[in-house]
Amino acid sequence: MSSVSQSIASPVRHDWTEDEIAALFALPFNDLVFQAQTLHRQYFDPNEVQISSLLSIKTGRCSEDCGYCPQSAHHDSELESESLMALDEVVTAAKEAKEKGASRFCMGAAWRQPKDRDLQAVMDMVKAVKDLGMETCMTLGMLTKDQANSLKEVGLDYYNHNLDTSPEFYGEIISTRTYQDRLDTLKHVRDANINVCSGGIVGMGESRTDRVRLLQQLANQTKHPESVPINLLIKVKGTPLEDAPDLEPLEFVRSIAVARIIMPESHVRLSAGRESMSEEMQALCFLSGANSIFYGEKLLTTANPATSSDQQLFEKLGIRAV
């Protein structure tokens, strides 16, 4: 038996080697997708996709220099910045998302880390959105242990904090915070008993080995992130990555399939970049084990497919949104 098929026999592992993950990436496409879909069916209903809506609660002027991000103050992306939103505006947006069918509401802030004086305001947002009967997710940058505990106390369900890329490629993309800073935040979130949402971005000019190493970091956490967003870079004008080379579409599908195989209990989220994907490409991602998406016409600051086209796609594919 090859090492790849042995690993399929005991799927939930935390000791994936780079070679094993690279071997999955290198499988014939049909074999890879078949393995991913087979495993997917052991853990999930293959026709259900979880949907979350996003809201940017504080936009732009971020002190970090993430090369992909239109919200960084280091780049000139012509984005209008906005200070922290009022509670009633957040509640209105969450109600709207709920009416359109979203089960989880994810609030994002362009912060390096929340200041303690901002924390009470975001805690109030978590409480108010939970009162609507929705699951809550936040992505606010780095968190201290105490901040993670405070968010848990008000009932935050998920915290999103991405590793973004491999440890080796990371320095090409971000200089203002380290990979270890990100791992520390993930530990604070995990220790506070908040569900972890952590993934990365592909299509930033990284190599396949970088994609392997990103997925290896995620899969070898003591506990797999409950949610793993795989973002395809949105090339925003004015950011250093505006001219990044296109990622071969089937390489994106392979990345989804490998994430599914090595983190079989996690929701793999087909995240940013769907606007530039055909229906067929998205269908291939679902076939490869993606089982959640961001739903609603805007991600944080960039466009996402219209809800009506997502509804039509789900109907064509016989997918139920949950």
85 binds ligand SF4 (CB under 6 A): no
Is 232 a binder of ligand DTB (CB under 6 A)?
no
Active-site residue, selected from the candidate residues 104, 106, 182, 254: 106
DSSP character string of 70-115:
TTBTTS---PPPB-PPPHHHHHHHHHHHHHTT-SEEEEEE--SS--
Q: Which residue among 27, 290, 301, 305 contacts ligand DTB (CB under 6 A)?
A: 301
Q: What is d(CA 151, CA 128) in angstroms, rounded to the nearest whole number?
A: 13
Q: Which is nearer to ligand SAM, 46 or 240 (CB)?
A: 240
Per CB under 6 A, the segment of 3-11, 128-136, 229-237, 239-247 that binds ligand DTB is 229-237
Neighbours of 49 (CB within 10 A): 24
Q: Which residue bears the tokens 């901002």?
A: 118
> CA dihedral in degrees (152, 153, 157, 160; nearest 10)?
-30
**Can you tell me the distance from the alpha carbon of 163 to that of 178, in angstroms, rounded to the nearest whole number?**
10
Write down the least CB distance from residue 217 to ligand SF4, Å: 18
197 is catalytic: yes
Binding window for ligand SAM (CB under 6 A); candidates: 20-28, 67-75, 79-87, 150-158: 67-75
141 counts as binding ligand SAM under rule CB under 6 A: yes
Closer CB to ligand SF4, residue 102 or residue 110? 110
106 counts as catalytic: yes
Question: Considering the rule CB under 6 A, would residue 210 count as an interface residue with ligand SAM?
Answer: no
C-beta separation of 169 from 206 below 8 A: yes
285 noted as active-site residue? no
Tell me how many residues contact ligand SAM (CB under 6 A).
Answer: 18
Q: How far apart are CA 270 and CA 291, in angstroms?
A: 7
Q: Is 99 exposed, middle or buried (0-12, 13-18, 19+ CB in 10 A)?
A: exposed
Using rule CB under 6 A, residue 225 touches ligand SF4: no
Q: How far is CA 274 from CA 53, 95, 296, in A?
A: 14, 24, 12
Residue 108 token pair: 């994002």
Number of residues binding to ligand DTB, judged by CB under 6 A: 17
Task: Verify binding: residue 236, ligand SAM, rule CB under 6 A.
Answer: yes
Copy the structure tokens of residue 286.
Answer: 């679902």
Helix H or strand E encompassing 59: none
- Within residues 14-53, the interface with ligand DTB by CB under 6 A covers none
In the complex, the residues that contact ligand SAM under the rule CB under 6 A are 68-69, 71, 108, 110-111, 139, 141, 161-162, 164, 201, 231, 233-234, 236, 272, 300
Contacts with ligand DTB by CB under 6 A lie at: 54, 70, 106, 108, 139, 160, 162, 199, 229, 231, 234, 271-272, 299-302
Active site residues: 62, 66, 69, 106, 137, 197, 269
